[in-house]
Chain A
């Protein structure tokens, strides 16, 4: 995951908004993803954005993409305790036509009452 960087921890109070940030290096990335990993479970795709978009909203989730700065963020509105998990940013550079994602190290989101 050295091509995708994330901060390791984020702590928020229940009901506040959470913003998880990610930077990536490959300017030719086509897809950028956010995955959620809960304890004992596999990674679950939360949302994705195409590289030709700059924003995508899906219920409580808002993804912002700044291609110039190669910066991706995930905003979770009205954060709940059930949102506590590790969030992985991933990119898929179209190398050789196989869209295999490269993951960051993950950001642990801790939501406290």
Chain B
């Protein structure tokens, strides 16, 4: 079946603009995660959902960042009033069991959205 998809793949925006990044998880996957990956770094956790409920948003850097998953499938990560320091690769991942079970060892990652703020 299809893997995790993300759109757009590349986004260039001017400082101060809002951006919305979309993630389409694998069909039937319960959990959806957002990560941010700076150049030369590993993915850094932002937030995750079980179904439509946001379970943990402790990794969101500030209140300009928000995420939603209203129907428990597609998710949108929104960054308001973008700043140059927001430039990074934003990755989405999904897994079938929720992450509070011992079975949830595998997350399936999408290709990411490369965000550049000029």
Which residues of A does B touch, CB under 8 Å?
Answer: 1, 4, 8, 30-31, 33, 35, 40-45, 48, 88, 90, 92, 97-106
- The answer to whether B56 and A42 touch across the interface, beta carbons within 8 angstroms, is no
Q: Which residues of A sit under 8 angstroms from B108, Cβ to Cβ?
A: 42
Q: How far is the CB of A93 from chain B (nearest CB, A)?
A: 12
Q: How far is the CB of B91 from chain A (nearest CB, A)?
A: 7
- 10 A-B pairs with least C-beta separation: A103-B42, A42-B109, A1-B42, A43-B109, A97-B100, A99-B99, A98-B99, A45-B106, A42-B111, A103-B43
CB-based A-B contact count at 8 angstroms = 64
Give B1-59 interface residues, CB cut-off 8 Å to A. 3-4, 33, 40-45, 48, 55-56
B118 at the interface (CB under 8 A from A): no
Q: How far is the CB of A66 from chain B (nearest CB, A)?
A: 20
Which range holds the interface residue count of chain B?
20 to 34
- The answer to whether B45 and A100 touch across the interface, beta carbons within 8 angstroms, is yes
- The answer to whether B56 and A100 touch across the interface, beta carbons within 8 angstroms, is yes
Which residues of B does A touch, CB under 8 Å?
Answer: 3-4, 33, 40-45, 48, 55-56, 91, 93, 99-102, 104-112
Secondary structure call for the B interface: loop
Q: How far is the CA of A2 from the CA of B33 in the complex (A)?
A: 20
What are 18 contact pairs spanning A and B, CB under 8 A? A1-B41, A8-B40, A30-B102, A35-B109, A40-B111, A42-B93, A42-B110, A43-B43, A43-B109, A44-B109, A45-B107, A48-B106, A88-B43, A90-B42, A92-B105, A97-B100, A103-B44, A106-B42
Q: Which residues of B sit under 8 angstroms from A104, Cβ to Cβ?
A: 42
Q: Which residues of B sit under 8 angstroms from A42, Cβ to Cβ?
A: 3-4, 91, 93, 108-112
* Most-contacted residue by chain B among A30, A42, A43 (CB, 10 A): A42
